[in-house]
A and B are shown apart, each in its own frame.
Chain A
Amino acid sequence: MKNLCLILGFLFVSLAFSQENVTISGTIKDDTNGETIYGASVYLQDTSYGVTTNSYGFYSLSAPAGTYTLSVSFIGYETISQQITLTENQKINFEITEESMALDEVVITAEENTATDIKTPQMSVTKLKTETIKKIPAVLGEVDIIKSIQLLPGVTNSGEGSGGFNVRGGAEDQNLVLLDEAIIYNTSHLFGFFSVFNADAIKNIELYKGSIPAQFGGRVSSVLDVQQKDGNSKNYELTGGIGAVSSRLAVEGPLFKEKGSFIVAGRGSYAHLFLKLADNENSAYFYDVNAKGNYEINDKNKLFLSMYHGRDKFDIANIFKNEYGNTSANLRWNHVFNDKLFANASLIYSKYDYKIQISFIELDWVAAIENYNFKYDMKYYASQNFKLNAGISGISYMFQPGEVKPTSETSSINYMKLDDKRALETGIYLSAEHTLTEKLTALYGIRYSMFHRFGGQSLVNYENDLPVVYNETLGVYEEGTPVSETYYDKGEVIKSFGNFEPRVGLSYQLNDATSIKAGYSRTAQYIHLISNTSAATPVDVWAPSGKFIKPQLSDQFSVGYFKNLMDNKYSLEVESFYKTVDNRVDYVDGASLIGQNTIETEILIGESKAYGLEVLLRKNSGKLTGWIAYTLSNAEQRTLGGAAGGPGINAGNWYNTPYNKTHDISVTGTYALNKKWDFGANLIYQTGRPVTYPNGQYQYEGISVPSYSGRNENRLPAYHRVDVSATYRPNRKPEAKWKGEWVFSIYNLYNRKNAASISFGQNRETGINEATRTAIFGMVPSVSYNFKF
């Protein structure tokens, strides 16, 4: 609470100071399509007054009255400057021009715009524009946001063909993935080959790997904030593409006499993707639709409505059918109270569900997680030296872990429904961006989160309150003995949790181009993905904290060194982090999670730790742009027996998390040769994923049985590959509306057979054991055609 008083204290001091200043505010947009620009710098030249736009393109800048040169800049755009005289508060909107239009002439020398990156105490964050992502060579030419962030330091995944991503040694379920603020529970199409985000509908993405700002909560590892385009508010535009995997089409244009705009983007894959058994009975495909509209009621009020719906469908000869997908919608209301106070209210819905039908055992299985979320966020631009963020949020969850229905009278399956679970997660935060001295800037805040698990279900009571017990005789963990059940009414709270989550960041500027930063953040996570496989699958279920599962709590410390080199042509970021997570759910050997109503009997509560060093060298301007990223890290977990007794999982020893990759190097570059040709290349090298190899075999029941010792003590062979791409834009007249481009790419140029997995088994023909490597993508050439009209 002391922090809170301190913040309030600063607020009043700042309010007092701010009175003498004049404020300008407004919105920064792209002049060709009217998209608002997030992160653009607005500053007064030769002064320290400057600010960056928020995700709605809004800025507010206060300075003493006087005459200045005001500049607006943003990477990839031409900087504009104009003389202004500040006498009274005023509203100025700017439109800036993308510089690629004048590619041949201009090699930008970014001015103070990147210098602000050095000043801000926010660290461990990376922002990527869709344009950048689109230039990165991708497998089968399918632009993939989730794959592109894996080229950044500190981000990996469990391997090709598996979904999700891992940030700084965190698990897949520890990432908060937001699409226009709506929670996306599963980021993969086709079990992980592609991501659910259609790049044509996305404006930019932001990934927080640490020092997560106080307005975000609910996950302990990272926040991936994906923002959809608002749609072209000036002209109707049609963009699309025909690729090897899918075709895309997006329509956007102005609405309400340019008071608003809309975008509708759809993408669908071809039906028989990836099925070797290419007879007509099988199909596997996905589609997704993004839609967004906005309406500017007046200068002070703007409404946004955005929606997403994606679906994957598999049908194996009518025997096995599976479908899954995310659906979300968000209604937002931006309100500018005055030139210093910006607010946004959001009402968000999201859902993830899956369905499995297996005809030969006559079974139909459905499961879902659904939530309604209300958020209210405010930003107060008190003065040049002090800005305040505050907000509240509430998420109401409904978990439907599973319902099994027999599909015929003769089915041997009994109807079964796992208990629905209900919960409410609330949060309130206050944070400040505070320039303490010319060189020292701080970002500090606190979030208080609460989680209430509600009734409407029964819970089992176990002997000695132990859902899991250690069987001393067999040396294994077993289900506890149920003694009774307690029914909780719908309105009744089964269990509540509350956590203070302080977030602090400091930046000290050593000189104009160099700074050092440090950060600490504590985050709480109340919902958990129940999965004991190496890679998450679409049929894993989410479970809320409650009587048996405590919230995960993470503490992360980070320090960094940031430098802009050679007139900001290059930038260097070096960060080091140390992170611990308490209450990480781990699974006892042989845990049975499918159709499990009492998950608590299969788990123990453990901890994890991760630490590492990340280096990112970027070339920001010129014909060649790109980056080199290197990560050296370690991530381990440990689960002791605790109250259940016994040594714990893996004999209570620390062991490698499945995504612990010691070395991770990515080099990605784009070279703009001329107006017609762009070239891109990636080089990736990673230490192999930790796996468990057998350490012997013996005969039992007539078969060869592998023996194992510790978990994840071995590693797959190192993963590496090179991808290249070329983009060709045919000659076109400047006035022609039709703009087409061909993208040629080769993924895995030297056809490296990277092991996605190595499995062990006994060959039925010879009886001898063998190791089988699965390599998902060999060399994959592809061609796609994109157009804009």
Chain B
Amino acid sequence: MKFNIKSIFVLVVCISFTACTDVVDVDVPFEGSNLVIEASMDWLNGTSGNEQTIYLSESTPYFSEDQISPVSGATISVVNDATGETYIFEDQNDGSYTTTSFEPVENQSFTLTVVYDNETYQASDTFILPTAIDYVEQTLEGAFDDEVIDLNTYFQDDAEVDNYYMNRYYRQGDLFPYLDTFSDEFTNGNQMHDFFEIEDDEDSTIEPLQAGDVVDIYLYSITESYYNYMTLLLEQSESSGNPFATTPAALQGNCKNMSDGEDAYGYFRTTRYDKVTYTVE
């Protein structure tokens, strides 16, 4: 066999590759609105946790521009399951219901009761031990892109138990926060490290973190049930429809309809949290 590789190659490469994404109009179903209960009894480390707000609203069509449809006229109470102490939340007539006398108790379960439109909804949850943010550090190299600033939050995981966390990064001025959940499955007992970076996307007006940006960093200690709920919620709201994402499913919160109707969307959660407000340098 005689051949000369150099003489036989004719290089023809012609790639016109047009993989792309675009925003399209899609007809999606709407099967009527459902009650949404956002009852987050969040207890900041080092505070009394007396002031609490519960939000009630109704779901709207997916592409609706009025994303929030507040619900007033409900009766809401939260009971300490051990003492029977009841906290009534007052209707502010804008979808929010508030109290200033709530008394959270560590390792104690509480039960929420919402009565609206002749339906009664109930849910329970228990406060678990808190976690404190040790410190926040600003770097360039920590995450995906070496050219944009990222924030690194450090805290200590408790090796004795399975821990579940939720973090919330909110850059002041943004329309909505960045949320994430995680567990200590691969990192039990270690110093935990969480990073936050905003992608430098040329197609978007959303800028990456810059000097002067003020970021509220929240770290919540959550229960396993709430972790399961929130993980699925975030997965479905961020990446649903992607072929490598799981098939979305009806999300089941803990607010059960005691009158045999549809359960409410949302969740009654009792969490401890820590918060750091960080100004990017």
Pick from A360, A363, A760, A777: contact of B62, CB under 8 Å: A760
Q: Is A483 an interface residue (CB 8 A)?
A: no
- The residue in chain B whose Cβ has the minimal distance to the Cβ of A471 is B225
CB pair B17–A412 under 8 Å, yes or no, is no
Q: Kindly identify, within residues 1 to 47 of chain B, every residue whose CB is under 8 Å from any CB belonging to chain A.
A: 1, 3, 8-26, 28-31, 33-34, 36, 38, 40
Question: Measuring CB to CB, which residues of chain B are less than 8 angstroms from any residue of chain A?
Answer: 1, 3, 8-26, 28-31, 33-34, 36, 38, 40, 55, 57-65, 67-68, 142-144, 146, 168, 170, 174-177, 179, 185-193, 195, 204-206, 225, 228, 231-233, 235-254, 256, 263, 265-267
Whether A697 pairs with B62 at a CB distance below 8 angstroms is yes
Q: How far is the CA of A758 from the CA of B243 in the complex (A)?
A: 9
Interface code A323-338, partner B: CB below 8 Å = 1, 0 otherwise?
A: 0000000000000000
Tell me the complex Cα distance, A560–B63, Å: 48
A707 and B250 contact, Cβ closer than 8 Å, known pairs A534-B244, A769-B63: yes
* Cα-based distance from A73 to B186 in the complex (angstroms): 63
A383-422 Cβ-contact flags toward B at 8 Å (1 or 0): 0000000000000000000001000000011101000000
Within 8 Å CB of A158, what residues of B?
243
Extra contacts, 18 of them, besides A691-B241, A771-B63 (Cβ < 8 A), are A159-B243, A363-B186, A412-B190, A414-B186, A475-B252, A532-B246, A533-B243, A589-B249, A693-B28, A705-B237, A707-B250, A710-B250, A758-B24, A769-B63, A771-B241, A775-B21, A778-B20, A783-B12
Which 5 A-B pairs have CB atoms at the shortest separation, nearest pair first?
A: A759-B241, A778-B18, A236-B1, A698-B59, A590-B232
Q: Is B60 touching A696 in the complex (CB atoms < 8 A)? A: yes
Q: Are A473 and B19 in contact (CB under 8 A)?
A: no
The chain A residue with its CB closest to the CB of B11 is A242
A478–B229 CA distance with the chains assembled, in angstroms: 11
Partner of A775, one of B20, B23, B192: B20
Contacts of A651 in B (CB 8 A): 250
* Cβ–Cβ contact A762 & B237, under 8 A: yes
A-B contact list, 12 entries, CB within 8 Å: A534-B247, A692-B247, A696-B31, A696-B59, A699-B38, A703-B179, A706-B240, A707-B34, A711-B247, A753-B22, A771-B28, A778-B18
State whether A703 touches B9 (Cβ < 8 A).
no
A695 and B22 alpha carbons, distance in the complex (Å): 21
- Asked whether A708 lies within 8 Å of B245 as measured between CB atoms, the reply is no
Beta-carbon contact of A770 and B23 below 8 Å = yes
A to B contact number (C-beta, < 8 Å): 279
In the complex, which of the residues B187, B237, B250 contacts A412, with contact meaning CB atoms closer than 8 Å?
A: B187
| Residue A650, interface by CB 8 Å | yes
Q: How far is the CA of A764 from the CA of B251 in the complex (A)?
A: 23
A715 CB to closest chain B CB, in angstroms? 11
Given contacts A360-B142, A474-B225, contact A760 B241 (CB under 8 A): yes
Docked complex: A520-554 residues within 8 A CB-CB of B: 532-535, 537
Q: Which residue of B lies closest to A415 (CB)?
A: B186
Majority secondary structure of chain B interface residues (helix, strand, loop or mixed):
loop
Q: Say yes or no: A244-B205 contact (C-beta < 8 A), given A238-B3, A698-B60, A771-B23.
A: no
With A412-B192, A474-B252 already in contact, the answer to whether A789 and B144 are too (CB < 8 A) is: no
Q: Are A697 and B252 in contact (CB under 8 A)?
A: no
Q: How far is the CA of A694 from the CA of B63 in the complex (A)?
A: 10
Cα of A701 to Cα of B204 in the assembled complex, Å: 23
The answer to whether A708 touches B30 (Cβ under 8 A) is no
CA distance A703 to B174 in the complex (A): 12
A787 interface residue per 8 A CB criterion: yes
Q: Is the CB of A591 within 8 A of B246?
A: yes
Indicate if the CB atoms of A771 and B25 lie closer than 8 Å: yes
**A773 surroundings in chain B (CB, below 8 A):** 21-24
- Contact partner of B249 (CB less than 8 A), chosen from A251, A711, A760, is A711
Residues of chain B within 8 A of A236, CB atoms compared: 1
Contact A699 B68 (CB under 8 A): yes
CB of B177 within 8 A of CB of A701, answer yes
B59 x A700 contact (CB < 8 A):
no
Q: Is B249's CB under 8 angstroms from A708's CB?
A: yes
Whether A36 is near chain B, meaning CB under 8 Å from some CB there, is no
A712 vs B246: C-alpha distance when bound (angstroms): 11
CA distance A517 to B78 in the complex (A): 70
Verify B185–A692 contact, CB threshold 8 A: no
Taking a contact as CB atoms under 8 Å apart, the answer to whether A244 and B13 are in contact is yes
Q: Do the beta carbons of B30 and A696 come within 8 Å of each other?
A: yes
Interchain CB contact under 8 A, A708 and B62: no
Q: Which of B22, B192, B240, B254 has the most CB of A within 10 A?
A: B240
- Would you call A767 and B176 a contact (CB within 8 A)? yes
Residue interface mask A59-72, B partner, CB < 8 A = 1: 00000000000000
B residues in contact with A695, CB < 8 Å: 28-31, 62
How distant is B239 from chain A, measured CB to nearest CB, in Å? 6
Q: Within the complex, which residue of B17, B168, B236, B253 is in contact with A706, where a contact is CB–CB below 8 Å?
A: B236
- List of B residues within 8 angstroms of A709 by Cβ: 31, 250
A767-B240 contact in complex given A590-B228, A698-B59, C-beta closer than 8 Å? no
- Chain A residues with CB under 8 Å of B144's CB are 317, 319, 360
Nearest A residue (CB) for B65: A768
The minimal Cβ–Cβ distance linking A315 to chain B, given in whole angstroms, is: 13
Interface-centre pick from B10, B16, B29, B242 (highest chain A CB count, 10 A): B242
Q: Assuming the A-B contacts A242-B11, A697-B67, A760-B62, are A537 and B244 also in contact, with contact meaning beta carbons closer than 8 angstroms in the complex?
A: yes
Nearest Cβ distance between residue A377 and chain B, in whole angstroms? 36
Q: How far is the CA of A475 from the CA of B236 in the complex (A)?
A: 18
B-side contacts of A587, CB under 8 Å? 246
A161 to B1, CA, bound (A): 40
Query: Do B26 and A758 have beta carbons less than 8 Å apart?
Result: yes
Report chain B residues within 8 Å CB of A770. 23, 63
Q: A195 near B: Cβ within 8 Å?
A: no
Give min CB distance, B275 to chain A, whole Å: 15
Complex CA–CA separation, A523 to B177 (angstroms) = 51
Give chain A nearest CB distance to B166 CB in angstroms. 9
A532-B246, A704-B67, A785-B12 as given contacts; A238 in contact with B228, CB under 8 Å: no
Interface membership of A482, Cβ < 8 A: no
Known: A695-B31, A764-B204, A787-B8. A595 touches B247 (CB 8 A): no
Q: Are A535 and B244 in contact (CB under 8 A)?
A: yes
